[in-house]
Amino acid sequence: MLDQMKLTSSIRQLQDAVSKVAQAIPAKSIDQRFENINLSLEPGELTLFASDGEVSITAKSGVESSDSGNIGIRARTLQDFLRSMYDTSVMFSIERQEISDHGTVSISTDKGRYRIPCLFQSKPEKQDKQYDISIEMETSEMLDLIQKTTFACSVDGMRPAMMGVLFELEGSIITAVATDGHRLVRCRKASSVDLSEKNKVVVPARVLSILQKLAQTDSVTMQFDSERKFVRFICGSIVLDAALIVEPYPNYEAVIPVEHDRNLIINRSMIYDSVRRVGRFSSIGDVKVVLEGQMMKIMAENTNEGESAQEELACEFSGEDMAIGFNSRFIEAALAHLDENEIRIELKSPTTAVIFRPHGEEENDNLIILVMPVRINN
């Protein structure tokens, strides 16, 4: 390692790489190791690395340099500098202080000179893991899978497994499941590999949210290690490594009703807008839905303020008339994550889970969203 290093790059190129790896930096940390971005310089290439101990991100960026070495720079300091700059060529000159691990980064651009402290340190240790499952997906498909599941994850730390998305890998199908106990999503996609044995892993919702911000390439590769403790996502030159949730996931299949004797087909945006309007009139955010003939009534009231609302929507309904209650926010979220114009709602009783799905997808079952009803006062 040299005690002096130089590299030249563009501000925008560095800013892009730093903003990506900084996703792993915790908002608040009691451990100073996790406040720094590690810069590992080799001739022609800069590797950036950041971690919070559970999630780590590595990015590579081309630079002009013939030097090698490793330093750490406080993430916030580096980010603030790069964000405040216009795009121009920038030179970093790094110098170690005498008999110390501390150093100084002198930064030169066409208009200014800047100095920030750094720490000379060893290269981050990479644990050798055997990744025996590797699945490549189109980025749009992966992002669709994340968007359709993470909204239903729990935020209750007492149930850690439900704070992630369950991935079931079997045959050539990926099944992703999320639930918080009040609603459940099951989404299926085709896989690039055919697995003879069923594999189950739980990926933290936070990791998937970070991936949404990193995935800007055409495809994403998802890998799981042989012990099913770690996941790796590769998006071009960006690598996201994270620990899996090793708690057992609840038996979600037990809560999905097998048979429904009442079926409703309706325009998605029509019911979505209606629930949004009527739900605002409820003192506790619940709406009552009454199904009679080919008519759906959505109603809510706030007896304390003397407010109430009722709307009637035409629908295709088969089965006995019924009344059922829902948390309006859960219905809104379910409808917002269905893409089709017409949806199918499957019901059994006022106390049984209700299934929302795109109309016409009964056979392939690619997406179902389940919402538990709430008790209503008749």
At residue 2, does pLDDT exceed 80?
A: no
- The larger pLDDT score, comparing residue 3 to residue 58, is at 58
9-49 pLDDT per residue, tens: 999 999 999 999 999 998 877 777 789 999 999 999 999 99
Q: Based on the structure, what is the number of domains in the chain?
A: 3
Domain-embedded: residue 376: no
Please give the share of the chain, as a percent, with pLDDT higher than 70.
97
Quick one: 231 and 264 in the same domain?
no
Q: CA 251, CA 249: separation in Å to the nearest integer?
A: 7
DSSP state of 96: E
At residue 267, does pLDDT exceed 80?
A: yes
Q: What is the pLDDT of residue 186?
A: 97
Quick one: 272 and 364 in the same domain?
yes
Q: What is the pLDDT of residue 137?
A: 94
Q: What CATH number did the domain enclosing 350 receive?
A: 3.10.150.10
328-378 pLDDT per residue, tens: 999 999 999 999 999 999 999 999 999 999 997 555 589 999 999 999 875
204-262 pLDDT per residue, tens: 999 999 999 999 889 999 999 999 999 999 999 999 999 999 999 999 999 898 888 99
Quick one: 276 and 173 in the same domain?
no
Q: CA 363, CA 339: separation in Å to the nearest integer?
A: 17
Q: If DSSP codes are grouped into helix, strand and coil, which group holds residue 319?
A: coil
Quick one: 267 and 332 in the same domain?
yes
Residue 98 half-sphere exposure toward CB, CA atoms < 13 A? 0
Determine contact, residues 48/38, Cβ cutoff 8 Å.
yes
CB atoms inside a 10 Å sphere around CB 279: 20
**At which residue do the structure tokens 């202080």 appear?**
97
DSSP state of 374: B
Q: Region 175-193: what's the mean pLDDT? A: 94
CB atoms inside a 10 Å sphere around CB 210: 19
Q: CA 244, CA 227: separation in Å to the nearest integer?
A: 10
Quick one: 335 and 270 in the same domain?
yes
Domain boundary at 96, 120, 144, which? 120
Q: CA 37, CA 22: separation in Å to the nearest integer?
A: 7
Quick one: 40 and 87 in the same domain?
yes
Quick one: 261 and 337 in the same domain?
yes
Domain-embedded: residue 378: no
Q: Region 164-179: what's the mean pLDDT? A: 96
Determine contact, residues 192/136, Cβ cutoff 8 Å.
yes
Q: What is the pLDDT of residue 318?
A: 94
At residue 192, does pLDDT exceed 70?
A: yes
Q: CA 205, CA 192: separation in Å to the nearest integer?
A: 23
Q: If DSSP codes are grouped into helix, strand and coil, which group holds residue 5?
A: strand
Q: CA 137, CA 221: separation in Å to the nearest integer?
A: 6
Q: CA 239, CA 220: separation in Å to the nearest integer?
A: 10
At residue 293, does pLDDT exceed 60?
A: yes
Which token pair is 246?
A: 């090793």
For the stretch 54-77, what's the b/e string if a residue is b when 16 or more beta carbons lie within 10 angstroms of its beta carbon? bbbbbbbbebebeeebbbbbbbeb
At residue 199, does pLDDT exceed 60?
A: yes
Q: Region 121-130: what's the mean pLDDT? A: 75
Question: Residue 134's closest CA among 241, 246, 234, 218?
Answer: 234
Quick one: 54 and 99 in the same domain?
yes
Percentage helix, strand, coil, to 5, in the chain?
20, 50, 30
At residue 109, does pLDDT exceed 70?
A: yes
Quick one: 360 and 265 in the same domain?
yes
Quick one: 58 and 148 in the same domain?
no
Domain boundary at 234, 253, 272, which? 253
At residue 1, does pLDDT exceed 50?
A: no
DSSP state of 339: -
Across the chain, what does the average pLDDT equal? 92
Q: Region 138-157: what's the mean pLDDT? A: 95
Which token pair is 127?
A: 């644990």
Q: If DSSP codes are grouped into helix, strand and coil, which group holds residue 260?
A: coil
Determine contact, residues 87/11, Cβ cutoff 8 Å.
yes
Ramachandran class of 185: left when φ > 0, alpha when ψ lies in -120 to 50, beta otherwise: beta
Q: Region 99-116: what's the mean pLDDT? A: 93
Question: Residue 260's closest CA among 357, 332, 335, 179?
Answer: 357
- Please provide residue 88's backbone torsions phi and psi, each rounded to the nearest 5 degrees: -155, 175
> Which range is least confidently modeled, 1-10, 39-48, 320-329?
1-10
Domain-embedded: residue 377: no
Q: How confident is the model at residue 127 (pLDDT cuts 50, 70, 90)?
A: low
- Structural domain span for residue 42: 4-120
Please give the share of the chain, as a percent, with pLDDT higher than 90.
81
- Please provide residue 228's backbone torsions phi and psi, each rounded to the nearest 5 degrees: 60, 40
Which token pair is 111?
A: 């208009």
- The larger pLDDT score, comparing residue 61 to residue 378, is at 61
Question: Residue 14's closest CA among 92, 74, 71?
Answer: 92
Domain-embedded: residue 231: yes
Domain-embedded: residue 175: yes
Domain-embedded: residue 49: yes
Quick one: 355 and 274 in the same domain?
yes
User: 322-327 and 316-318: which strand pairing?
Assistant: unpaired
Domain boundary at 71, 93, 120, which? 120
DSSP state of 64: B
Domain-embedded: residue 128: no
At residue 294, does pLDDT exceed 80?
A: yes
**At which residue do the structure tokens 């490549």 appear?**
136
- Please provide residue 108's backbone torsions phi and psi, each rounded to the nearest 5 degrees: -125, 135
Quick one: 159 and 233 in the same domain?
yes
Q: What is the pLDDT of residue 378?
A: 56
